[in-house]
């Protein structure tokens, strides 16, 4: 099966745009009527629902941020009475209160539909055995993928995150063909497979659907080569719906963002100005079908770009490029912006380097210092000191020319950087401590 819903996924642009404007108008009308916060913000901006006559008019609407969700904690932005809300999720966040999101029955049905689209797009079918190793619970990854995979009719193993040896056992014994988890977690699973002496040829895995954290093209190549599978990117965030906002297809050239449910824009994060297609900036998303928690121009903090170029898979929905990183994950070293994904792309081109790394930022006197800790392979680690020093220098040169800042490289012994069973932590910023 090529599409889950061929009519909606291949809808001509004109029809999609007509649907989008109608649904946008409905959403704006609803939030203005039912959510005092939105009404206040719109009044302050001098805009009313009648002012939204075309898709371009969206830029008259004020942005919504994570802070707005926090200020209205927990349910202040819900647009329906709690009797209509049948599920609540939340995203942990590193500081302050979590972000709380709610779903009506219709929201959950729609989410499962979008996840079914996503899974089919990323090589899943009703014959697949899907091992879902995203965490079940308040995190949207577990249950979000779960209901989509059941809808597709695949055999779902709700293994959730953690207990890596058991994950590998299940994979082997139950004949898992599709794994869903974070890209960092599949690499950890691979390590455990190796420790147990299990080769890719011993298992039936064919595809993996990875997301919830940024990962580079080089990381994709690493995962595909090691596990001998197709690795697809899936994007989403709790505030918008959870996983399934956008997903790759067999072309693996950007993620189709489901435009019949979401309107995406890219803005300059400093000025808030809307940027043309192709430009990189912060992704802003408006939901146009959500009932419980509609989001108007939500600033995701994720950096990406959008394209309307037709895709060979036949889906007409616009594509977003792989997310480079979050603006709040970016570290500014002496004025230069550095993303963990940039470091990752460089590291993974160097032989003897493992895909486990950490950026440690510190301030010595008044100067920022960036240390990149990187694990080396067992073979390299047992080499002579001189060879290790050479490798250190080579990594340093490559990083410095790619990033444009001076870097200290610390080679770490195999297995010494913390493994993640969910979202990996890539940055430790000691300047804020």
Can you give the binding site for ligand DLL, defined by CB under 6 A? 91, 134, 139-141, 211-214, 233-238, 242-243, 300, 302, 323, 326
Smallest distance, Å, CB 58 to ligand DLL?
A: 20
The residue (of 181 and 193) whose beta carbon lies closer to ligand DLL is 181
DSSP 8-state class, residue 252: -
Beta strands (DSSP E) in 142-296 are: 155-157, 178-181, 207-211, 230-237, 242-248, 255-257, 262-267, 281-287
The residue (of 315 and 426) whose beta carbon lies closer to ligand DLL is 426
Smallest distance, Å, CB 350 to ligand DLL?
A: 23
Helix axes 164-174, 183-195, angle to 10 degrees: 80
The residue (of 134 and 357) whose beta carbon lies closer to ligand DLL is 134
The residue (of 123 and 236) whose beta carbon lies closer to ligand DLL is 236
Position of minimal CB gap to ligand DLL: 211
d(CA 354, CA 373): 11
The residue (of 93 and 278) whose beta carbon lies closer to ligand DLL is 93
Smallest distance, Å, CB 6 to ligand DLL?
A: 24
d(CA 89, CA 238): 8
DSSP 8-state class, residue 198: -
First to last CA, the chain: 52
d(CA 178, CA 125): 10
The residue (of 182 and 316) whose beta carbon lies closer to ligand DLL is 182
Smallest distance, Å, CB 65 to ligand DLL?
A: 12
Tell me the two tokens of residue 38.
Answer: 């939105």
Q: What Cα–Cα distance (Å) separates residue 276 from each residue in 53, 264, 293?
A: 20, 12, 28
Would you call 263 helix, strand, or coil by DSSP?
Answer: strand
Residue 413, φ and ψ in degrees, nearest 5: -75, 155
The residue (of 265 and 368) whose beta carbon lies closer to ligand DLL is 265
* Residue 422 and residue 386 in contact, taking contact as beta carbons nearer than 8 Å: no
Smallest distance, Å, CB 139 to ligand DLL?
A: 6
Smallest distance, Å, CB 178 to ligand DLL?
A: 14
Smallest distance, Å, CB 375 to ligand DLL?
A: 22
d(CA 157, CA 149): 10
Smallest distance, Å, CB 193 to ligand DLL?
A: 22
Smallest distance, Å, CB 230 to ligand DLL?
A: 15
Q: Pick the closest to residue 158 from 141, 136, 126, 175 (CA basis).
A: 136
Smallest distance, Å, CB 167 to ligand DLL?
A: 16
Pairing of strands 129-132, 178-181: parallel
Smallest distance, Å, CB 234 to ligand DLL?
A: 5
For 224-238, what is the HEC assignment?
A: HHHHCCEEEEEEEEC
* Residue 396 and residue 327 in contact, taking contact as beta carbons nearer than 8 Å: no
The residue (of 318 and 376) whose beta carbon lies closer to ligand DLL is 318
The residue (of 144 and 352) whose beta carbon lies closer to ligand DLL is 144
Would you call 242 helix, strand, or coil by DSSP?
Answer: strand
Q: Pick the closest to residue 287 from 18, 10, 17, 26 (CA basis).
A: 26
The residue (of 128 and 184) whose beta carbon lies closer to ligand DLL is 184
The residue (of 301 and 368) whose beta carbon lies closer to ligand DLL is 301
User: Hey, what's the torsion of the CAs at 52, 55, 59, 65, to 10 degrees?
Assistant: 100
Residue 326 pairs with which residues in a beta bridge?
A: 302
d(CA 232, CA 250): 8
């Amino acid at each position: 099966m090529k599409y889950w819903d061929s009519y909606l996924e291949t809808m001509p642009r004109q029809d999609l745009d007509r649907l989008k404007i109608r649904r946008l108008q409905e959403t704006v009308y609803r939030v203005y009527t039912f959510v005092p916060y939105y009404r206040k913000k719109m009044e302050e901006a001098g805009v009313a629902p009648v002012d939204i006559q075309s898709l371009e008019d969206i830029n008259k609407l004020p942005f919504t941020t994570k802070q707005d969700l926090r200020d209205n904690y927990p349910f202040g932005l819900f647009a329906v009475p709690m009797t209509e809300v049948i599920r609540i999720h939340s995203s942990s966040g590193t500081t302050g209160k979590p972000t709380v999101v709610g779903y009506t029955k219709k929201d959950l049905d729609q989410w499962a539909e979008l996840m079914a689209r996503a899974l089919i797009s990323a090589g899943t079918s009703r014959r697949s055995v899907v091992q879902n190793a995203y965490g079940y619970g308040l995190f949207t990854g577990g249950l979000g993928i779960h209901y989509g995979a059941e809808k597709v009719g695949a055999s779902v193993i709700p293994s959730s995150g953690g207990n890596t040896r058991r994950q590998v056992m299940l994979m082997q014994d139950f004949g898992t063909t599709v794994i869903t988890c974070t890209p960092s977690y599949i690499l950890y699973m691979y390590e455990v497979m190796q420790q147990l002496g299990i080769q890719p040829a011993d298992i039936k895995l064919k595809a993996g659907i990875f997301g919830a954290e940024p990962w580079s093209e080089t990381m994709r190549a690493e995962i595909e080569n090691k596990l001998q599978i197709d690795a697809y990117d899936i994007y989403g965030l709790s505030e918008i719906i959870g996983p399934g906002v956008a997903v790759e297809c067999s072309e693996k050239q950007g993620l189709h963002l489901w435009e019949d449910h979401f309107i995406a824009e890219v803005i300059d994060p400093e000025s808030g100005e809307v940027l043309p297609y192709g430009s990189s900036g912060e992704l802003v998303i408006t939901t146009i079908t959500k009932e419980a928690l509609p989001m108007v121009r939500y600033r995701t903090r994720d950096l990406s770009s959008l394209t309307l170029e037709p895709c060979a898979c036949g889906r007409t929905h616009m594509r977003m490029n792989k997310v480079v990183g979050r603006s709040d994950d970016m570290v500014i070293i002496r004025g230069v912006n550095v993303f963990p994904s940039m470091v990752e792309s460089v590291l993974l081109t160097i032989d003897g380097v493992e895909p486990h790394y950490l950026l440690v930022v510190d301030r010595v006197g008044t100067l920022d210092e960036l240390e990149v800790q990187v694990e080396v392979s067992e073979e390299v680690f047992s080499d002579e000191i001189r060879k290790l020093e050479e490798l250190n220098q080579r990594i340093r040169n490559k990083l410095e020319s790619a990033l444009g800042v001076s870097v200290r490289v610390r080679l770490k012994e195999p297995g010494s950087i913390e493994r993640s069973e969910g979202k990996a932590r890539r940055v430790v910023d000691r300047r804020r401590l």
